[in-house]
Amino acid sequence: MKFFSLHNDFVFLNLCESDSVGRPKTEKSIRFCCVYLFSLYICAMRVRHAGRLKRYMDCTLNVQGRLLSLEKPLVMGILNVNDDSFYEGSRVRGMSFVERAKDMLACGAAILDVGACSTRPGSEPVPQEVELARLHEALSLLDKELPGAVVSVDTFRGAVARECVQEHNVAIINDVSAFDWDKDMLDAVTELNVPYVLTHSSACRDLAADDFLPAVLKQLASKMWLLRQNGVKDVIIDPGFGFGKTVEQNYAMLDRLAEFELFDAPLLVGVSRKSMITRVLGITPAEALPGTVALGMAALMGGANILRVHDVKEAVDSVRLFLAMRGSGGISL
């Protein structure tokens, strides 16, 4: 059964058997039916926005009782307190971490994203206690030195999310796994009632070109429905560049980024120094800043609301130029 259409790309959902009067026989059938109904909702959202490309979202995120406006695109700065993130230049500890955070804010970062467990392809997650120890050290420094900063924690573990939000000045949970790697994450985000970054990271390298993007949207739709059912109000969509996708698929997704408008939610894009740049250009992550800037501008033109980057100043400059091009008075942010 076709359940929504995107520019002649069709996504199909196989609903389970029903009884003689059309009632689902199993709990799985009920869940599939609910996903189907949610798909109709997002289809309606797509129709609502048909004929116009949204360049930004006039909405807000509730961060610890404060409203963070998305009227203009924002920049999220990456701070890694681990030993094996793919870009060595992003790894900082101790007072160097604080200085890097201060520099990012001074350059115009709206959000600081702190991670202590690398999720690069092929990496082995560190034990939970190691991740927590690193985060407690880093977040305690931010609590003391930068108490007004909007801080996001990059983790896939529900217990880690709980401790960071409850014990530190953490306002956003950034989970690359879409609560697949730790089922407790959905309960944690529901309890904490903080903005949640929903990322597509399932492997889809073997999908045909025409099936790839509909599959990504379908999975995100089912996850979004679960979050809404659990009362999570602020959800940020991350298409998951570099997670389970080929280089070609990453660029196809970037080229059709406007399709993600159907979720009617803020869109975060993270392509900073990733392999989709280095493999095409034959360079290292350390040499990938120009490519990052180029793809960042492409993401803004496709409707991105948040750029997640290692290099804040260059991303903020891109936002300013984008706003100037759009005629939105973006000379001052």
Annotated catalytic sites, by residue?
A: 274, 308
- 180 phi and psi angles, rounded to 5 deg: -90, -30
Inter-axis angle of helices 209-229 and 27-48, to 10 degrees? Answer: 110
| 80 bridge partner residues | 91, 115
Closest listed residue to residue 223, CA positions, set 207, 235, 213: 235
Q: Helices 209-229 and 184-192 meet at what angle, rounded to 10?
A: 50
Q: Are 76 and 308 in contact (CB under 8 A)?
A: yes
Amino acid at 75: V
User: Phi/psi of residue 310, each to 5°?
Assistant: -85, -30
Phi, psi torsion values for 51, nearest 5 degrees: 90, -5
Positions of E strands within 140-240 = 151-154, 172-175, 196-199, 235-238
Transcribe 292-303 into DSSP letters.
HHHHHHHHHHTT
Nearest to 101 by CA among 80, 87, 117, 118: 80
Say if CB 152 and CB 174 are below 8 A apart.
Answer: yes
Q: What are phi and psi of 213, to 5 degrees?
A: -65, -40
